[in-house]
Amino acid sequence: MARRGGYAKGIAKREEILSTALDVIARHGYRGASVKEIADAVGLSQAGLLHHFGSKEDLFVEVLRKRDEHDTAVALTAFAERGITGALDAFVGVMRANADVPGLVLLYSALAVEAADPDHAAHAYFRDRREIFRAALAGGIRQMQDDGALDAHLDPDTLATAIHALADGLQVHMLIEPGLDMAGVIQHVVGALRPEPRHDEGGRA
């Protein structure tokens, strides 16, 4: 487990480790991002690194958790300022932004799969996150249906599940086809689910 409390030096080092880990993943791939490699990059021994985060898994989960905090803050602000449509735009915008952070998509996808193991540190993270995200998404869908911005025949829960899965699936595919315009694909599909007058927004693979 990550050590609690912390001197100024430790807190700073922890931050440095979190961002350096992403760099190392981006440069060496997920397989090449060993504890030794990350430790070298921040100028620590392996044991020194593991002092800050109890395990490699914990470190990686922490990277995602921190990114989540930032992302949800962005989405909530957009919702407060521009309502549900703003939140949807923010969601797509966040995806677009995260896609440009090298290593992040790779880390997210890798952990999402490893988290299948109930003993994995990321298991609880993904389970909880999935539930929260889907509930929020389903709520937004319902609201858009009330506003007439989305086909009323659709089941909000099923559609929320689908959109979340679509987003995660696109990230996996992006690993093999880096040019993939994830946000564009999502916009195209969501745009197709409007009730009558189809907007026809772009987005090619």
Q: Does 153 bind DNA (CB under 7 A)?
A: no
DSSP string, 50-91: HHHSSSHHHHHHHHHHHHHHHHHHHHHHHHHHHHHHHHHHHH
Asked if residue 11 lies in contact with residue 64, where contact means CB atoms within 8 angstroms, the answer is: no
93 vs 184 by CB, closer to a second copy: 184
Binding residues for a second copy restricted to 117-176, rule: CB under 8 A? 117, 123, 126-127, 130, 134, 151, 153-155, 157-162, 164-170, 172-173, 175-176
Which lies closer to a second copy via its Cβ, residue 97 or residue 166? 166
3-state secondary structure of 148: coil
Phi first, then psi: what are they for 71, rounded to 5°? -65, -45
Q: Is 40 in the site for a second copy (CB under 8 A)?
A: no
Question: Is there binding between residue 125 and DNA (CB under 7 A)?
Answer: no
Q: Which is nearer to a second copy, 11 or 192 (CB)?
A: 192
- The CA distances from residue 29 to 22, 25, 103, 158, 175, in Å, are 10, 5, 7, 34, 11
**Interface of this chain with DNA, residues 8 to 27, rule: CB under 7 A:** 8-11, 13
167 binds, among a second copy, DNA, none (CB under 5 to 8 A by kind): a second copy
Q: Which residues bind DNA (CB under 7 A)?
A: 3-11, 13, 32-37, 43-48, 50-52, 54-57
